[in-house]
Structure 1
């Protein structure tokens, strides 16, 4: 499940886009100013960013330039009311992957998002290992299949993402806050017990000793 950051300071637009994306299976987070957007992209793993040019604190083009300058490679789609050709050219030359002018059709935005994600995922998987292996666990990132001791098991999307997160950090303690951020998104209720519930689901399918509880700290996938 792809994670999308919506950098938009207009609450009505941000809520509209977020609702549509979640209805289509995406995990989302919202940044309402430029500095928050920068911190969130550089501090977490997002697959795509929707960037409004008229953000508070810094202009969206500045955010774009800073992100590209610091090596952020995720697709960035500019989302703005500015329709002047010079603004479009400036955005694309600063490193944007696409440009959508407000007001826009959500269906068009969704199509552009899916196109950019497909291109990005194809680029990032070229020449890379598509399997994660930890102990007797194998997770295939392309087919979205999981095997334990060569026995294939079925995992719904959220459980798959949670297991993938653990397998990318074997033997590392992951706090509930980190797991909420990576699997459910920044704006999920931090007081929820959803992490514990889903760890329980994984334990039932993988074995009770596979994921260890580290008291007062979080969880760890044992090799």
Structure 2
């Protein structure tokens, strides 16, 4: 299956094929033909997520591990991570990954599902035991549900199918890191958002949130008073690296506003035209 344009700086890999998990780069070209809207969206998303990745992490602790036996994939992911300030370690097998895990305090790991000497889930399980708070993402060239289930059950925080764009990969890393660094309870004004129960409480009572509502509200409450770009919200909550041109975000925001107003008279969610969304309290 071919990808249409993976954006890497000012280059676009225009023909990348995945055959049984192996990447074959057919050709690359400069100046990808992107619409103005896509360029603006991806620029905003990239900048926002780079800030999110760095927030709360000291440079000396930013250790990342990429586990994949495909040199092209490793080089691409490693370059993205280094651009975002990570010190990158690489491994091409389960054995190499296990050695690295016991030698280095890994903060983020991106692990391929199928490796030459076994499944990446073995490395995931070891890392989860060694560094319980590590952010772990798995990749696979296969789209079967069993791989996803096995990866998540082994301890991965997220599972992505190849190919994946740079903006989505960055957004997923940022989202997983926020979940790991998020306190059990977020507070803005009289609002209290419980991570475990997904309940929102305020002066006037409490209300249950759906998974998407929780993700959306947690992103906003984690940055009180800050205007969060719509591009960031779409990527973090729905995994979009483009503006889908639908009202999915606006519908979700409408539901959250209703729930916030039902439990609080102090806090409001405000849309800033052409900028993003913020939660405020008075």
Compute the TM-score of the two structures, normalised by the length of structure 1. 0.51
| 1:111 and 2:151 are equivalent in the alignment | no
> Which residue does the alignment assign to 2:145?
85
Give how far 1:84 is off: 0.6
Which residues in structure 2 correspond to 1:1-223 (within 5 Å)?
1=59, 2-70=62-130, 72-122=132-182
Deviation by residue 1:13-46 (Cα, 9 ceiling, x = unmatched): 0001111111222221111111111111122111
Between the aligned partners of 2:109 and 2:171, the Cα distance in structure 1 is 14
Gaps of 5+ in 1: 125-223
Q: Secondary structure at the match of 1:93?
A: helix
Between the aligned partners of 2:156 and 2:149, the Cα distance in structure 1 is 10
Deviation by residue 1:109-167 (Cα, 9 ceiling, x = unmatched): 0011111122223359xxxxxxxxxxxxxxxxxxxxxxxxxxxxxxxxxxxxxxxxxxx
The size of the alignment, in residue pairs, is 125
Q: 2:128·2:134 contact (CA, 8 Å) conserved in 1?
A: no
Q: 1:9·1:56 contact (CA, 8 Å) conserved in 2?
A: yes
Q: Secondary structure at the match of 1:100?
A: strand
Give how far 1:66 is off: 3.4
Between the aligned partners of 2:106 and 2:123, the Cα distance in structure 1 is 15
Q: 1:42·1:72 contact (CA, 8 Å) conserved in 2?
A: no
Between the aligned partners of 1:41 and 1:66, the Cα distance in structure 2 is 8
Cα RMSD for the two superposed structures: 2.1
Q: Secondary structure at the match of 2:114?
A: coil
Q: Secondary structure at the match of 1:43?
A: coil
